Structure formats: C-alpha cells, structure tokens
Structure 1
Amino acid sequence: MASTNTPPPPIRAALFDMDGLLIDSEDLYTTCTNTLLSRYARPPLPWSIKAQLQGRPGPQAGQIFHAWAQLPIPVDQFLAEQTEIQKELFPQCQPLPGVLDVLEGLEVSGVEIALATSSHAGNFELKSSHLPHLFCYFELQHRVLGDDARIPPGKGKPAPDIYLLALSTLNATLRGKGEPEISPEECLVFEDSVLGVESGRRAGMQVVWVPHPELLIEYRGKEKDVLAGLTGEHKEDEEQQLKSIETEVAQGKRKVGLPGEVDDGWGTLLNSLEGFPYGKFGIENPVQD
C-alpha cells in the first residue's frame, strides 16, 4: 500500500484539483447537464451518476453519462449544445469558501503549489480567465490539464499519472534552483471527487477530500474507503490500466501506484477549506496571533 502504515511526513507541496475544489464549477456542470436533459424530456442527473463523472477525463465521463442518459440525439449534437451552455455559464465560476485564504497561506508558508485538473484547455480558459486573483498562485509551468500530451491515453484519474506529472513540474523548477526535490509522500493532494482521491493515494501522496455535501451523502458509511482510495469505482478500461500499474509496482518498475489502507492517517476529510488545519500537515500556520 502507498503508506505502509508509516506516519506521513511534513508537507512541502500542495497539488490542487480545480472543479468543485477551487471553484463552484461542479454546480454549473449540473445546471448545464440538467438543462439539456430537460430539453429532451429526461430526468435530472442523480448524484449516483454524477459521482462517477467527477474527476474523470471528458471521454470516459461522456461514455458513462450517455449510457445512463439515453438521449434521443447524436453525441455530436449533445456536445455542440453543451458547449453553447458552458460558454454562457463557465465565466460565472467563483472561488469556493476558504480557497483564496488557503492558497495565500500555503504560499506564505513556503509550500510549492501546482494544479492538476481533468478539464481540457478550452474549458479551463472559460473557467479561469476571469479569476486572475485565484489562478495567479499557479505558475504556467505548474498547471497540468486533462488534455496534457504528457499524460498517456487512458491514464487520467483514478490513475496516479496526473499528480505525479504535477509534482515533476515542481521538481524541475527546484532542480533549476539547486534545491532539494520533493518526494510524493511530501505532497498534499486537494480533491473533491472520489476518483481524484484515489488518484492522489495511488501517487503515494497525502490527500485532503473536500466533497460536495451531496457527494458526501452518496458515500455515507464509505468515507474511510474513499480516503484510502479503496472504493473501486473505476471502470473496465481503467481497471486494466490500474492492474498494469500494480504489476509494475510489484516488479519494482514503479515506486508508487497502489492505493492506501483504511485509517492509515494519509487521508483527511474536510467539509470546507475554511479554517484549514495547517499544523496537522506539518505546515507552519501563516496566521500570526
């Protein structure tokens, strides 16, 4: 397992998901989707399905959605209509509670910061261009998007690749400065999705899970499994990818790739980023009394 039941070390890097974690775009996604479903006399998107879409790259999420929705229109038409609604809604995205304070606090405390989102470049621009006061904390070379060519096909979340890539961008900068590199266990992943938590745990990193209240209801009683990355919510193609990763770990070809263990202390559930507990992660609290 990723933690081997050892106490987690102090944090040197924070790696952030975006949708539903930094900004309120998950609720806007729901509004967009339900608008289209209503247009074609289909019921609203339930959280049991939405939970499977969160964190996944667009193509994989699309397969799950269309298998459930059974819309009477071609996928291309759906995507075109969806894009028009997103162009209207996404520029309305706003930071979620506590986000700006945490980003400032981490920066003041000397923690390195990177972004790791499944959103592709076009949607990222729609969601972020009007929020320079938020995304200024993420330098361009430390932003990893869902359509980044460096992420192999099929290796989106819940595979660990996107978070390992985000860490590699930070270490490239540190090497250029002659500073010590950061190891995966010194990273704290911030996620709202179940698959994203698994991705972070499989990357050998510590994880903070900040779920939407409705998602938390959906996983009531399974919180500990989520924090360990053990929910098994991946689909068949993802299952094959993860088994391949686990085989490479067993053969010594990879150092990370396995999920964690229940109650191993490497996963933390927070209802919000407000009042973030810096000390829990070995980070000096930037707020002076």
Structure 2
Amino acid sequence: MNEQPPPVRACIFDVDGTLINSEDIYTDIYNRILSEYGRPAYPWRIKARQQSRGTAGTQRLLDWAQVPLTIAEWKTKEKKHTHLFKNSKLLPGVEELLATLFTRTSLPLYLSLASSAGARLFALKTSHIPSITAAFADTRLHVFGDDPEMSDSRKKPEPDIFLLALKRTNEAAKQNGEEEIDAKECLVFEDSIAGVEAARRAGMRVVWVPHPGLAEVCKGKEMDVLMGRTEADGKLPIYGETIDAERIEPAEDGRLLSVDRLAELITSLEDFSYEAYGLQVTK
C-alpha cells in the first residue's frame, strides 16, 4: 500500500492551457500559418507530441507539417500573431480555485508559476485578468522560459523549471522563518503531457487537466501520462489510437489516480478536491 503523501504546502501552476485558453489560440495561430502552405489543420494527435516541449516540440510540428520553414522562420511567423493572446480568458474553475488557494485555506500556501513561455508573453496573455495578477502577486515565485536561471536548463519534460520554482519558494519560506518545503509537499497543475512528466521527474505530485482534444487522443494512455512514462522507451507514442488500451479505474473516492497515487486526472479545475491534498478550506 502506498504511503499517504503529506499535506500540500505549495502549488505550482503552468499557464497555457491550465489557467487560460491560450492553447486554443496557439492552435489558431498554427492553423493560420499552415493554411499559407496549403496544409491541413493541426490535429491534437500531433500537438500532443509538441506541446510544452520547446524547440524539440517545434521540430516535431515541422516534421509533420512538411513546410519549407526553419524553426526560426516558424517562430517569426508566430510572433506576427501574438496580439491574439490579448483575448485570453480564464478556463472553468480557475478563478474560484485561485481565490480559494490564495485566501481561504487554513494554512497559508505558496503559489508559484512555472511556464515555458516568456515573461512578456505571459504579461500579454494575463495582465487583463485580475484573479491571476492577485494570486501570483509575489513575482519572486515566477519562473518563465526566458528566465536567466533557466538559460542553461533543460525544458519540459525535464524537471528543471519545477525544481527552480521550488528553490525560489523555499527561499521565500526561509525568509518567513518556515521549514523547508519538500518536493512531495508541492502540487503541480498541468495540462500537457510533457508538463506532467516534468512534475513527476521533479518528485512532485501533479494534477493533469488536459484540453478535451488532448484527452480524446490520449484515451487508453492516461496511466502512461500520469506515471510520466509516455516516452520511457525512447520512442514517440502514437496518439489517437486506443489499441491495447489500459483502462484507468476510479479510486475508492472516485478520483482517477496513477498507480502510485501521486498524479490525478481531472477534466476541469472545477472538480479539484481540496481535502484529498490535506487542504482545509475556511468560510
């Protein structure tokens, strides 16, 4: 029987597709570029391999698209559409979740951000959303892909970005005279496969909230995602097929958990269970 993890003391949030609907905007941008070359719309069975994987992910996109562009040229075309991110909106359940974690738990929590995107793009996507600005007001706990301390770090699915977030959280905890926070006391909120795997490699617990399109192509592979083993054999998974599917059975409390109970799948942050993570909500 797996040992009961300790109560959560810190929450680390991805941004795109977890807090806001920017993954849909990214897909729109990709489709605009692909249409210039007469290519079909970008499918989730391919995006599942690309999402949150930085340069390696972009190369996977280009390998599929077969367009005459280098990674740098593709990124230049992307930048021409960044104004679309001003239309970013909160995903269901996010506003209530952030307000609760920030102000209504019996013990104070540390809330941090760990996003592969850059800081300026984050500001463009979220500066018009007060609940994000309020919950993550402590900029010491922000980690972005263009952070100076990330310059020599490996991108998701490697754990570096989450480990840096924990390091900064513990620096804040030390200043507050609190005990050091262990990785297992951190709960990561992620939407991408690479993000879940990165959190697992960091030794943290994780809540996976996939986009409906991603959830659809991952049918039968949910346990592989939750356990962080989708590419353990060094081969790219084929998404969108349910051959040899491994059914994920609900736990006794109805939650969809990994075998080791350190990762959970939910369809919306509206369904988050505070009690399951040792969090007492005050009225």
Question: Which category of TM-score, normalised to the shorter sequence, fits these structures?
Answer: 0.7 to 0.9
Is 1:30 aligned with 2:27? yes
Question: Cα deviations across residues 157-178 of structure 1 (Å, max 9, x unaligned)?
Answer: 1111111111111110111121
Q: Which structure exhibits the higher relative contact order, with contacts defined as CA atoms closer than 8 Å and separated by 6 or more residues? A: 1
Q: Provide the rounded CA distance (Å) in 1 between the counterparts of 2:269 and 2:82.
A: 26
Q: Provide the rounded CA distance (Å) in 2 between the counterparts of 1:150 and 1:283.
A: 31
Matches within 5 A, 1:159-170: 159-170=158-169
Q: TM-score, normalised by structure 2?
A: 0.85
Structure 2, gaps ≥5 residues long: 236-256
- Pairwise CA distance, 1:277: 0.8
Is 1:42 aligned with 2:39? yes
> CA 1:116 to 1:70, structure 2 compared with 1: closer, same or farther past 3 Å?
same
Q: Provide the rounded CA distance (Å) in 2 between the counterparts of 1:41 and 1:233.
A: 35
2:133 corresponds to which of 132, 135, 157: 135
Q: Provide the rounded CA distance (Å) in 2 between the counterparts of 1:171 and 1:154.
A: 19
Corresponding residue pairs, total: 258
Matches within 5 A, 1:42-191: 42-57=39-54, 59-87=55-83, 89-108=84-103, 109=105, 110-138=108-136, 139-151=138-150, 153=152, 155-191=154-190
- Pairwise CA distance, 1:193: 0.5
Contact 2:14 2:115 in 1 (8 A): yes
Contact 2:115 2:145 in 1 (8 A): yes
Question: Cα deviations across residues 212-253 of structure 1 (Å, max 9, x unaligned)?
Answer: 1111111111111211111117979xxxxxxxxxxxxxxxxx
Contact 1:17 1:117 in 2 (8 A): yes
Structure 1, gaps ≥5 residues long: 237-260
> CA 1:269 to 1:73, structure 2 compared with 1: closer, same or farther past 3 Å?
closer
Q: What is the RMSD of the two structures over their aligned residues, measured on CA atoms?
A: 2.0
Q: In structure 2, the residue corresponding to 1:182 is in which secondary structure?
A: coil
| Aligned equivalent of 1:270 | 266
Q: In structure 2, the residue corresponding to 1:204 is in which secondary structure?
A: coil
Q: TM-score, normalised by structure 1?
A: 0.84
Q: Provide the rounded CA distance (Å) in 2 between the counterparts of 1:213 and 1:29.
A: 15
Question: Cα deviations across residues 93-113 of structure 1 (Å, max 9, x unaligned)?
Answer: 011011111111111212210
> CA 1:187 to 1:16, structure 2 compared with 1: closer, same or farther past 3 Å?
same
> CA 1:233 to 1:149, structure 2 compared with 1: closer, same or farther past 3 Å?
farther
- Pairwise CA distance, 1:129: 2.1
Matches within 5 A, 1:227-266: 227-232=226-231, 262-266=258-262
Q: Flag as ranges the 4+ runs of structure 1 deviating above 6 A.
A: 233-236
Q: In structure 2, the residue corresponding to 1:268 is in which secondary structure?
A: strand
Question: Cα deviations across residues 189-212 of structure 1 (Å, max 9, x unaligned)?
Answer: 000011100111111111100001
Q: Provide the rounded CA distance (Å) in 2 between the counterparts of 1:204 and 1:47.
A: 28
| Aligned equivalent of 2:192 | 193
Q: In structure 1, the residue corresponding to 2:121 is in which secondary structure?
A: helix
Q: Provide the rounded CA distance (Å) in 2 between the counterparts of 1:179 and 1:102.
A: 24
Contact 1:195 1:233 in 2 (8 A): no
Q: Provide the rounded CA distance (Å) in 1 between the counterparts of 2:20 and 2:147.
A: 21
Percentage identity across aligned positions?
43
- Pairwise CA distance, 1:276: 2.1
